[in-house]
Amino acid sequence: MSCAPPVERGFFPLDEELDLPTGSLSPRLAEAVVLMGTLLPFEQVPHLLGFFTRVEIDEDTARRRTESAGATLVHLETAEVERILRECPASPPGTPIQQLSADGAMVPLVHGKWAEVKTLVIGTVSEPVTSEETRTLHTGELSYFSRLTDAESFTRLAVGEIHRRGTERAGVVCAVMDGAEWLQGLVDQHRPDAVRILDFPHAAEHVCTAAHAVLGSGTAAASEWLGVQLQELKQGDPGRVLAALRALPAGTADRPEEAQAIRDGVIAYLEKRRTQIQYAQFTEQGYPIASGAVESANKLVVEARLKGSGMHWAPDNVNPMLALRTAVRSRRWGAVWRQITQSLQQDAAHGRCRRREQRRCADHPAPAPSVLEPLSAARPTRRPAPIRSEPKGLMKNGRPTGKHPWKNGGLSHRPIASSRCAKL
């Protein structure tokens, strides 16, 4: 029994006519694979896809398609940033009060390394709701931007989401963040007139650190002192809290010198940000005082997918996953997937054009170059005939001498005349 020859990869002309994407999955299934790979570990995607669609794929396919789609989205978002910086288009109108918060979260990389992913959250601050004794603020319509990069590059790349949300034209922007210097640089770049608010839990943590260092961690004295000062910090005058910090008796602590250094460091930290801890004033104006939105983003956007058990990411694959995750959590998956699909279709169209050109060249090969030399080429000279040596004494200057047989009738032993007579 003879074996059939191997089948080479072919193409279906209708796929090219309809501009269908390459691969064995339909557009809907391809989207499902990428969405599942964005939300779940790659090893879970084949089982769930098979359960819901009866289509079988392997883990490598789920990984490859998800990372490819994410890389395409990173390219599109970067290109949009370049366009905005180059053309400076007018941004859409922002909301009356907008919250801007950013923070970092660590993710595990290959070879046991860790790196910080920076995340920006933009939200709309609604009107405060006042009950009997409380005044509640809510920040909604949250959108996210995350990247594994340095602070300067992150500040530059964030212009895409900031422009899309109309932060430039928002009425009041409340920059609620912790005290990291790179965060202030972010605000300086995009909304230098923003109301800068030190995250209240962050400020309260510093006050607690000083109290525990001086009065003892978990002691009744520390708890009583903190109960008074934290309420004053949130609803009263921050100057009184700073005065209470200075009055802490560091000399009576178990380690006086260490307690004094911690207390003085907290005082210097809060004093430098005195204008950012006016929490009673901020609350009265309807501004948020906590950056819980970005803390949640670190967990929901970044850590829930990139910090799973046993996960270690190659650096080049982190940003593609972050781009997809922020699209899902910002509730923009439909619009973003259309952009990804269009880009992939354009790439596939370029690939088809190249293949058509390759097939055309294979069906109609170019004529072989002519073996004739151009007329302008110099013709080779004819080789001269070899010069024969003249027999010694018989030839002189190319002419027979008297000794030559021609002169003596030695060319033929039979005279011509006698031969003729014989014939007659």
End position of a domain, from candidates 256, 289, 322:
289
Q: Are residues 253 and 281 in the same domain?
A: yes
Q: Are residues 180 and 300 in the same domain?
A: yes
Share of residues in the chain with pLDDT > 70 (%): 79
Q: Are residues 161 and 218 in the same domain?
A: no
Q: Are residues 169 and 307 in the same domain?
A: yes
H-helix or E-strand containing 353? helix 333-363
Q: Is the pLDDT of residue 293 over 80?
A: yes
Q: What pLDDT was estimated at residue 269?
A: 96
Total domain count, the chain: 3
Q: Are residues 186 and 207 in the same domain?
A: no
Q: Are residues 17 and 139 in the same domain?
A: no
Q: Are residues 304 and 282 in the same domain?
A: no
Is residue 384 one of the residues assigned to a domain? no
Q: 280 lies in which domain range? A: 200-289
DSSP string of 5-59, one letter each residue: PPPPP---HHHHHHTPPSSSS-HHHHHHHHHHHHHS-GGGHHHHHHHHH-----H
CB of 119 closer than 8 Å to CB of 330: no
Q: Are residues 117 and 174 in the same domain?
A: yes
CB of 120 closer than 8 Å to CB of 146: yes
Is residue 103 one of the residues assigned to a domain? yes
Per-residue pLDDT tens digits for 409-422: 554 444 444 443 33
For residue 74, name the pLDDT band (cuts at 50, 70, 90): very high
174-178, 328-332, 388-392: least confident range: 388-392
Beta-strand relationship, 172-177 and 195-198: parallel
pTM of this structure: 0.78
Q: Are residues 74 and 149 in the same domain?
A: no
State the Cα–Cα distance between residues 6 and 148, nearest whole angstrom.
46
50-64, 95-109, 142-156, 404-418: least confident range: 404-418
Which whole number is the average pLDDT over 321-340? 97
Q: What pLDDT was estimated at residue 358?
A: 76
Q: Are residues 145 and 266 in the same domain?
A: no
Q: Are residues 297 and 186 in the same domain?
A: yes
For residue 116, what are its two tokens?
Answer: 């910080």
Per-residue pLDDT tens digits for 232-284: 999 999 999 999 999 999 988 889 999 999 999 999 999 999 999 999 999 99
Q: What pLDDT was estimated at residue 214?
A: 94
100-114, 364-378, 406-420: least confident range: 406-420
Number of helical H runs and strand E runs in the chain = 18, 9
Residue 8 neighbours by CB distance under 10 Å: 5
Is residue 385 one of the residues assigned to a domain? no
H-helix or E-strand containing 357? helix 333-363
